[in-house]
C-alpha cells in the first residue's frame, strides 16, 4: 500500500481519460469532419506516446505491480477506483494504443457522420484501456460495458448489409454473458464481506476469500460465461463471425485485435486467480473446447469464400490455440499465449486492413471473383503475402514465436494435446495458402487497373510489418515484462 501514498503522476488514469476527453471533443465538433479526424489522430497519438513511455520507463507500483493507482470512490460499498498495471496489462495497453492508431488512420476516409465515428472509436479505446487496467470488479464491469456500446454502434451504423442483425447479436450475446458475471461479482463480494467483515470489490482483497467448492464452481461459471462468449470459444462464436464480417474496417480491426482479447485477459486476470481450484478442474474442458474450436474454425475457414469471413474464422482458430496454452497451466505456454495474443492482434489486424483495401479497390470479397492482384498492385500483394505468412506461423515472423512457445509448453504437460494442436496449426497453413492463392496469384479476374498502396496506407501497414518481423526475429523485449508476472499467476496468486 506504500504505492498509494506516494504522490505520483497518474499515468494510468491518463491512458483511460485521454481517449474519453477526445471522444467528447469529437462529439462537440458535430459535423466538422476534418477537425474531428485530426483530433482523433492527435488523441490516439498522445495515448500511444504515453503507453510507449510506460513501456520504456518501467515504474514500480509496489508489491509487484509496475504501476498502481488507488483512489476512494464509493466508500460505503468498498468500491474503489483502482488501476493497476503488470506486464500483461502493459503489453495489452501497448497493443491497444498501437492498433487504435492504425484504426483511426484506416477510418480516415469515413465521410458519413465522421465525428460520431471517431468519437465512438475513442470511447472504445477508453473502455479497452479500462478493462486492461481495472483492479476493482465494479470498475472492471464498468469498462467492460463501456467497450461494448461503441462497438455496437460502429457495427450497426457503419456496417455492411446485415449490420443490424449482426450488431444485435453481438450485443445480446456479450451482454447476456456479462450479466452472469455481474451476479457472480456481487455474490463473491457478499461472501467475502460476510467472511472478513470488510466489504470490498478490490480484486486483491477478494483473492483471500475462502469458498466452498460448490460456491467456487458456480461463481467461476458466472465469470467464465462472460469470458467464453467474448473470447469466443466455439459453441458461442457465431456472433463474432457475423460481427467481424459486417463491421466497418476500423471496427473489424479493433474487434479482432483487441475486443476479443479482453475475454482471454479476463480469464487471466479474474477467473483463474479468484477461483484457482475450480479453474484447475475446468482446464481439461477448456482444452477440449479450445482444440475443438481450433479445428472447427479452421475447417470453416477452409471452406469459406468470403475473405473477411475466412479471416474471422482464422481468428477464432488462433484464439483456440491461445486458450489451449492457458489450459496447459505452464509457464512457457502462458507466455506463448500472451505473446500470441499480441502478435495475432497485429497480423490478423493487418490482414483485415488489407481486406478492406482490396474491397475498396475491387468491390468484392469473394475468393471466386478475386485473383491475380500481384500483377496489378504488387506492393499491396506483397504486404498481403507477408501478413498471411506471419499469420500461418512462418518461422521468423511474428506468430511463430508465440505458437512455438505454446506448443512447447503444452507438450511438456500434455503431449497428446500438443500433437493435436500441431495438426491444427498445419491446417492453418492450408487455409491461409488458399487465401493467398485465391487473392494475389492466378489470373487477374478484375479487369481494371488497381491503384497500389497510397501514402496513408503505407503509414498504417509499414509499422505493422516492421513489428511483425521484429517480433518474429527478436521477441525478447516483449516477453521480458511477462517474466515477473506470469509465474506468480500460475501459483494462484497475483503479483
Binding site for other proteins (CB under 8 A): 27, 30, 73-77, 113, 138, 141-142, 145-146, 149, 153, 156-157, 163-164, 168, 171-172, 175-176, 179-180, 182-183, 186-187, 189-190
Residue with Cβ nearer other proteins (42 or 172): 172
**In whole angstroms, what is the distance from residue 171 CA to residue 247 CA?**
13
Interacting residues of 355 by C-beta distance below 8 A, sequence separation 6+: 249, 307, 308, 311, 365
Residue with Cβ nearer other proteins (68 or 189): 189
Reduce the DSSP state of residue 177 to 3 states and report it: helix
- Asked whether the beta carbons of 26 and 122 are under 8 A apart, the reply is yes
Give the burial string for 334-372 (b: 16+ CB within 10 Å, else e): bbbbbbbbbbbbbbbbbbbbbbbbbbebbeebebeebbb
Paired with 229 in beta bridges are none
CB atoms within 10 A of CB 13: 15
Peptide bond into 443 cis (omega under 30): no
Our CA dihedral for 188, 192, 194, 198, rounded to 10 degrees, sits at -130
**In whole angstroms, what is the distance from residue 189 CA to residue 199 CA?**
7
Residue with Cβ nearer other proteins (224 or 339): 224
CB of 186 to other proteins, least distance (A): 5
Residue with Cβ nearer other proteins (32 or 448): 32
CB of 183 to other proteins, least distance (A): 5
CB of 287 to other proteins, least distance (A): 28
Phi-psi region of 17 (alpha: psi -120 to 50; beta: other; left: phi over 0): alpha
Residue with Cβ nearer other proteins (22 or 371): 22
- Asked whether the beta carbons of 309 and 470 are under 8 A apart, the reply is no
Residue with Cβ nearer other proteins (4 or 142): 142
Residue with Cβ nearer other proteins (180 or 367): 180
Residue with Cβ nearer other proteins (8 or 196): 196
Residue with Cβ nearer other proteins (167 or 479): 167
**In whole angstroms, what is the distance from residue 21 CA to residue 23 CA?**
5
CB of 26 to other proteins, least distance (A): 13
Paired with 320 in beta bridges are none
**In whole angstroms, what is the distance from residue 464 CA to residue 347 CA?**
8
**In whole angstroms, what is the distance from residue 266 CA to residue 180 CA?**
14
CB of 209 to other proteins, least distance (A): 14
**In whole angstroms, what is the distance from residue 469 CA to residue 184 CA?**
42
Task: Render 83-115 in DSSP notation, one character per residue.
Answer: EEE-HHHHHHHHHHHHHHHHHHHHGGG--TTHH
Residue with Cβ nearer other proteins (120 or 297): 120
CB of 149 to other proteins, least distance (A): 7
Length of the chain: 495
Amino acid at each position: 500500500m506504500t504505492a498509494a501514498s506516494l504522490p505520483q503522476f497518474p499515468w494510468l488514469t491518463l491512458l483511460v481519460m485521454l481517449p474519453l476527453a477526445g471522444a467528447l471533443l469529437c462529439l462537440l465538433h458535430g459535423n466538422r469532419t476534418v477537425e474531428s479526424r485530426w483530433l482523433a489522430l492527435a488523441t490516439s497519438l498522445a495515448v500511444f506516446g504515453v503507453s510507449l513511455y510506460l513501456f520504456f520507463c518501467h515504474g514500480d507500483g509496489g508489491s509487484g505491480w509496475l504501476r498502481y493507482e488507488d483512489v476512494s470512490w464509493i466508500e460505503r460499498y468498498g468500491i474503489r477506483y483502482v488501476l493497476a498495471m503488470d506486464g500483461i496489462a502493459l503489453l495489452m495497453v501497448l497493443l491497444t494504443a498501437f492498433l487504435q492508431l492504425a484504426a483511426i488512420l484506416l477510418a480516415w476516409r469515413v465521410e458519413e457522420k465522421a465525428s460520431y465515428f471517431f468519437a465512438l472509436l475513442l470511447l472504445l479505446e477508453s473502455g479497452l484501456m479500462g478493462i486492461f487496467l481495472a483492479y476493482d470488479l465494479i470498475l472492471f464491469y464498468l469498462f467492460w460495458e463501456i467497450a461494448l456500446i461503441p462497438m455496437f454502434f460502429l457495427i450497426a451504423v457503419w456496417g455492411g448489409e446485415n449490420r443490424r442483425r449482426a450488431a444485435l447479436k453481438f450485443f445480446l450475446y456479450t451482454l447476456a454473458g456479462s450479466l452472469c458475471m455481474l451476479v457472480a461479482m456481487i455474490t463473491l463480494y457478499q461472501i467475502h464481506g460476510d467472511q472478513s467483515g470488510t466489504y470490498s470489490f478490490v480484486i486483491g482483497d477478494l483473492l483471500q476469500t475462502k469458498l466452498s467448492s460448490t460456491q467456487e464452481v458456480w461463481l467461476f461459471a458466472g465469470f467464465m460465461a462472460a469470458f467464453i462468449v467474448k473470447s469466443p470459444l466455439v459453441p458461442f462464436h457465431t456472433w463474432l463471425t457475423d460481427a467481424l464480417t459486417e463491421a466497418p474496417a476500423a471496427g473489424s480491426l479493433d474487434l479482432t485485435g483487441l475486443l476479443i482479447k479482453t475475454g482471454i485477459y479476463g480469464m487471466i486476470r479474474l477467473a483463474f486467480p479468484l477461483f484457482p481450484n475450480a479453474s484447475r478442474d475446468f482446464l481439461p474442458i477448456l482444452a477440449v473446447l479450445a482444440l475443438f474450436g481450433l479445428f472447427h474454425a479452421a475447417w470453416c475457414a477452409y471452406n469459406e469464400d468470403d475473405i473477411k469471413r475466412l479471416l474471422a474464422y482464422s481468428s477464432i482458430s488462433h484464439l483456440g490455440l491461445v486458450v489451449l496454452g492457458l489450459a496447459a497451466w505452464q509457464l512457457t505456454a502462458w507466455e506463448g499465449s500472451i505473446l500470441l495474443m499480441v502478435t495475432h492482434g497485429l497480423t490478423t489486424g493487418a490482414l483485415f486492413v488489407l481486406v478492406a483495401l482490396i474491397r475498396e479497390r475491387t468491390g468484392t470479397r469473394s475468393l471466386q471473383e478475386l485473383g491475380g492482384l500481384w500483377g496489378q498492385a504488387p506492393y499491396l500483394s506483397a504486404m498481403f503475402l507477408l501478413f498471411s505468412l506471419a499469420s500461418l506461423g512462418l518461422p521468423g515472423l511474428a506468430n511463430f514465436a508465440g505458437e512455438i512457445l505454446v506448443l512447447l509448453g503444452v507438450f511438456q504437460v500434455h503431449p497428446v494435446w500438443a500433437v493435436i494442436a500441431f495438426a491444427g496449426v498445419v491446417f492453418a497453413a492450408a487455409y491461409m495458402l488458399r487465401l493467398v492463392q485465391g487473392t494475389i496469384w492466378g489470373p487477374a479476374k478484375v479487369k481494371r487497373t488497381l491503384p497500389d498502396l497510397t501514402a496513408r496506407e503505407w503509414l498504417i501497414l509499414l509499422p505493422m510489418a516492421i513489428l511483425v518481423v521484429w517480433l518474429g526475429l527478436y521477441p525478447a523485449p516483449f516477453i521480458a515484462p511477462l517474466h515477473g508476472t506470469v509465474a506468480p499467476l500460475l501459483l494462484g496468486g497475483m503479483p
